[in-house]
Amino acid sequence: MDKLVIRGGKKLKGTVIISGSKNAALPILAATLLTDDTCVLKNVPYLSDINTMIKLLRELGKDVSMIADIVTVKGGDKNKFRAPYELVSTMRGSICVLGPLLGRRKKAEVSFPGGCIIGPRPIDLHLKGLKELGVDLKIKGGYIIADGKKLKGNRIYLGGHFGSSVLATANVLMAAVITKGTTVIESTACEPEVADLVNFLRSMGADIEGVGSPRLVITGVNKLYGCTHSLIPDRIEAGTYMMAAAITKGDVFLKDAIYDHLLAPIDKLRESGLSIERAKDGIYVKYAKRLKPVYATTLPYPGFPTDLQAQMMALMSVTDGISVITEKIYPERFIHISELNRMGAEIMLEGPNAIVKGVKHLSGAPVMASDLRASAALILAGLVAEGATEVSRIYHLDRGYERLEEKLQAIGASVKRVKE
């Protein structure tokens, strides 16, 4: 396995090109199952999760190639409808093949996804929505066995205990686009990644109204066609580099980042004192004055993203004063706290609230990443820590950040990848 070795104390300065969105790419790749025509996807990041989805599409009969950031998907085999445990167990996003398999091939056998280190993430909303479209579902041998021969449009409410679900919205949406009748989905996820999926499906010939809103209206069509589509930039990657600039007191231009996709984190970072300016082709981020502590609560979009909670905690750990970060999406997503505290942070957990007392210095230490975003938080802490920080288990990082160490090196960070 690889690890990253970081020597802190370098101010970041320069330009970072933001890659395509991983969380948009996965359901859009799954949506290519809805047609046998050729689909060309541009601005696709090279990540281990993308490679897993490509393997899964091949397992399901698709011909897939990736050259640079362009993925071409064509063909189809209606006799293949089983998503095996060996692939689905490595990436939770694999569950989003369930909807398009049912919509196009009318049956699916998809391995039931397991739990996650950041806490349980049930798929009850996926199953509820598909059942209300007329899908016959059962769980057998660890697989979701689904029959979609009786699919029909319906009115569906998809709200859950912690709000809407991006992948549940994607699954129900993809099952409905070539299903007879009209489907109305209430309390859909409003994330930009869902809007990107809707725009891709529209380019394929789907009839969908309400993009970007919590209510989608889908009128089923007989057939979808191939198309060419460019993915949106990754807002979580952009937010991570914003905080990297802040924690190192740097000056960074985030090329291709979309300002309107980051309004909540921008609001909190400005409240803390960071200078952030919109540009035609990106976002300027500059440390201008001593930062102040903040209160931040994670919420479904357009609220503060849970995927930036750990990074914000790393930043607040070296911001003078008391910050409170509340996690309302995944209440158990705090495993990174113990590792940050090993570096000298002073963070106390009280239920869903992390109380962060800013310290003057962090100290480099060997730390272990527990999940994708915890990896990013530990790297941010390492960028400002005294001495060397070694972050192990960075295979988590490779799931969601394209060439992170190379991008950081290009703007002045001392970071290198080595074999453990």
Alpha carbon distance 319, 195 (integer Å) = 35
What is the predicted pLDDT for the residue at 115?
45
Residue 1 is predicted with a pLDDT of 84
Dist. CA 366–CA 376, nearest whole Å:
15
Going by DSSP bridges, is the β-strand pair 39-42/136-140 parallel, antiparallel, or unpaired? unpaired
pLDDT of residue 163: 81
Mapped onto helix, strand or coil, the DSSP state of residue 274 is coil
User: Rounded distance, CA 132 to CA 128, Å?
Assistant: 6
- What is d(CA 327, CA 158) in angstroms, rounded to the nearest whole number? 21
Parallel, antiparallel, or unpaired: how do β-strands 182-186 and 353-357 relate?
Answer: unpaired
Cβ atoms 375, 394 nearer than 8 A = yes
Count of helix runs (H) and strand runs (E) in the chain: 13, 24
**Which domains are assigned to the chain?**
2-19+233-419 (3.65.10.10), 22-230 (3.65.10.10)
Q: Burial, 268: exposed, middle or buried (Cβ in 10 Å; 0-12, 13-18, 19+)? A: buried
3-class SS letters over 3-16: EEEEECCCCCEEEE
Q: Give the CA count within 13 Å in the CB-facing half-sphere of 155.
A: 0
The DSSP letter of residue 12 is: P
What letter represents residue 201's amino acid? Answer: L
pTM for the whole structure: 0.96
Q: Determine if residue 182 is left, alpha or beta; phi over 0 gives left, psi from -120 to 50 gives alpha, anything else beta.
A: beta
Helix axes 309-316, 263-272, angle to 10 degrees: 10
DSSP 320-350: SSEEEEE-SS-TT--THHHHHHHTT-EEEEE
DSSP label of 177:
T
Length of the chain: 420
Catalytic residue, chosen from 96, 116, 190, 227, is: 116
Q: Tokens 């090329």 label which residue? A: 255
Contact 227, 203 (CB under 8 A): yes
- Burial (0-12, 13-18, 19+ Cβ within 10 Å), 399: buried
Q: Quick one: DSSP state of residue 45?
A: -
Active site residue 116: yes
CA-to-CA distance for 27 and 96, rounded, in angstroms? 6
Residue 124's region, left for phi above 0, alpha for psi from -120 to 50, else beta, is: alpha
* Closest to 235 in 3D by CA, of 211, 261, 260, 270: 261
Return the pLDDT at 92.
85
Kindly give the parts of the chain with pLDDT less than 70: 114-121
